[in-house]
Chains A and B, each alone.
Chain A
Amino acid sequence: MMNLSRSVALISLFLLPFLSSSFSVDNPTDRRVLVLLDDLSLKSSHSTFFNTLKSRGFDLDFKSADDSKLALQRYGQYLYDGLIIFAPSTERFGGSLDSKSVADFVDSGRDLILSADTSASDLIRGIATECGVDFDEDSSAMVIDHSSFSVSDGDHTLIAADDLVKSDVILGKSKIEAPVLFRGVAHSLNPTNNLVLKVLSASPSAYSANPTSKLSSPPQLTGSAISLVSVMQARNNARVVISGSLQLFSDRLFRSGAQKSGSPDKYEKSGNEQFVTELSKWVFHERGHLKAGSLVHHRVGETDEPAIYRIKDDLEFSVEILEWSGKSWEPYVADDVQVQFYMMSPYVLKTLSTDKKGLFHTSFKVPDVYGVFQFKVEYEKLGYTTLSLSKQIPVRPYRHNEYERFIPTAYPYYGACFTTMAGFFVFSFVYLYHK
């Protein structure tokens, strides 16, 4: 009995690398996703969302949040590429999962969708704080908006939000027309943190308070500082979506019509399904994931990369950048990729021109300074992976025989010397042979 289980474990250990056919450098879309639920009825109440994920090829593994066999890693290898935590009221995860293991999961470059709701537990708030997002400290507070609520609602807690971030890469090319319905808690972002971003903000008239009790003091979180859905892209390009409402993902709000109070436009279907689908495409690296080839540089007219440049050389520089389309690597097209020729500060900063096939190139003259320079490409565009490439190259001054032989500004002096010599010659003749 023991031998059998041990041999099965050994065989699965050998097969594990082959079973993990996902999330490599060549194929960055996540495949296996662990879904943690605190209430298994979420499987059916949010079935549309999960079915769209499954139809795009994800393997969803549904587990209860306090399942005692929960594990993200086995024998040092991660079992999943993505994590969805729809368990806002869970105080403690089961198994070997805790907020530190979730933080390590994101640190390893893997993606996370975290949703809180009213009565979010400290565990969920702790994970959100690790990602740079602070939920309202009052656990009974919800987002209330008396001028931007959905007309189908009674107590103004179902917000119809349309303040979306302007980013085609995060939210897709087609504009989300209908407002997105939201009912849940507010969170705010630290303004000095440049890794987090508000995707869905509340309107300026929103505030976060307990809807059932009277307000005794002005609410802390108000207006557009309230974020309803935020994303974070870590420095290792792991992507995290944090939402204050679990109902945002539910079938009921997907299907419901939306009409913002005070606006005459009535939409048959809210923008929730489009919003959630496009956001899940972004967070699981189906869009906006860039890969760069190595930096290539050489002198104009040559093809080999020299080991050292001379000052005032003409050189050509190129780099190849590809974008993952979800299925294959496509050429990346943009007009704002720049290269720096850098030694303590950029001596040359040029915008690269693209040939639309993924190759970005430019040419410039090496500056009149010698030292050890770097070609640096630092690309940080909203919603795209950060590219940080550099290549070192020394630059030498002129050799003693590379200077110009005759200096043009000194031609009068050359002329004067030779004229004087000629004058001396003529003078000697005249002096000797005059009568």
Chain B
Amino acid sequence: MVKSTSKDAQDLFRSLHSAYSATPTNLKIIDLYVVFAVFTALIQVLYMALVGSFPFNSFLSGVLSCIGTAVLAVCLRIQVNKENKEFKDLAPERAFADFVLCNLVLHLVIINFLG
């Protein structure tokens, strides 16, 4: 039983990996960016758990900047993905422009809230 489950896990992992390699490069770049942002957020949460939440506004500002930019990147990926029927008529340049403007507003707010 154990052997078969580990073999199943390996097979699952291999099929996921091969399916993922088929995605276009620009989507892979966006995925990398999301992973980087979430990873930065996790480091900050770990730091807060160790040291305590003293300047809470700074903590929130740091975490929300990472999470916010990750969310915006996910939205960009959804809009730019050619397999997505819902956004067939939306130009990818328009999606990228929205992404840039939203990030600008996000970072402005974040710097203000950082203290």
**A contacts, CB < 8 Å to B:** 407, 409-410, 412-414, 416-417, 419-421, 423-424, 427-428, 430-432, 434
Q: Which residues of A sit under 8 angstroms from B65, Cβ to Cβ?
A: 416-417, 420-421
Assess the B103–A416 pair: CB atoms within 8 A.
no
Contact yes or no, A414 B114, CB < 8 A:
yes
Pick from A407, A416, A420: contact of B54, CB under 8 Å: A407
Alpha-carbon distance A246/B47, docked complex (angstroms): 84
Residue picked from A419, A420, A423, A424, most chain B C-beta under 10 Å = A420
Contact B40 A416 (CB under 8 A): yes
B36 to chain A, nearest CB (A): 6
Q: Do A431 and B58 touch across chains, with their CB atoms under 8 A apart?
A: no
4 further A-B contacts with Cβ under 8 Å, apart from A414-B62, A414-B114, A421-B65, are A409-B51, A420-B65, A424-B107, A434-B25
Q: Which of B54-106 contact A (CB under 8 A)?
A: 54-55, 58-59, 61-63, 65-66, 69, 73, 96, 100, 103
Do residues B55 and A420 form an inter-chain contact, with CB atoms below 8 A? no
The one of A407, A420, A428 that contacts B115, using a Cβ cutoff of 8 Å: A407
Pick the contact of B44 from A407, A413, A423, A427 — CB < 8 Å?
Answer: A413
Q: Is the CB of B62 within 8 A of A417?
A: yes
State the main secondary structure of chain A at its contact with B. Answer: helix
| Contact of A416 with B107 in the complex, beta carbons under 8 Å | no
Instruction: State A412–B49 Cα separation when bound (angstroms).
Output: 13
**Known contacts being A407-B55, A410-B115, A412-B47, is A423 close to B61, with CB within 8 Å?**
no
Q: Total A-B pairs in contact (CB under 8 Å)? A: 72
| CB of B12, distance to nearest CB on chain A (Å) | 30
CB-based contact B29/A424 at 8 Å = no
| Closest Cβ neighbor of A426 among chain B residues | B33
Q: Contacts A416-B44, A420-B66, A427-B33 known; A409 to B26 CB distance under 8 Å?
A: no
Closest to B66 in A: A420
B110–A417 CB distance below 8 A: yes
Interface size on B, residues (CB 8 A): 32
Q: Which B residues are CB-close (under 8 A) to A434?
A: 25-26, 29
User: Can you report 28 A-B residue pairs in the complex whose CB atoms are below 8 A from each other?
Assistant: A407-B58, A409-B51, A409-B55, A410-B54, A410-B55, A410-B58, A410-B59, A410-B115, A413-B55, A413-B114, A414-B62, A414-B114, A416-B40, A416-B63, A417-B65, A417-B107, A417-B111, A420-B40, A420-B107, A421-B107, A423-B33, A423-B36, A423-B37, A423-B69, A424-B103, A427-B33, A431-B29, A434-B26
Specify which chain B residues have a CB less than 8 angstroms from the CB of A431 in the assembled complex.
26, 29-30, 96
A419 and B40 contacting across the interface, CB-CB below 8 Å? yes
* Residue B9 is within 8 A (CB to CB) of chain A in the complex: no
Contact B100 A409 (CB under 8 A): no
Residue in A407, A416, A428 whose CB lies within 8 Å of B62: A416
- Are A417 and B36 in contact (CB-based, < 8 A)? no
Interface centre among A407, A417, A419, A428, by most chain B C-beta atoms within 10 angstroms, is A417
Q: Which of B29, B41, B65, B107 has the most CB of A within 10 A?
A: B65
| Complex contacts, A413 vs chain B, CB 8 Å | 44, 55, 58-59, 61-62, 114
Measured between alpha carbons, how far is A237 from B42 in the docked complex, in Å? 72
Complex-state Cα separation, A423 to B36, whole angstroms = 8
Query: Is B29 within 8 A of A420, CB to CB?
Result: no
> Roughly how many angstroms separate A7 CA and B40 CA in the complex, as a whole number?
104
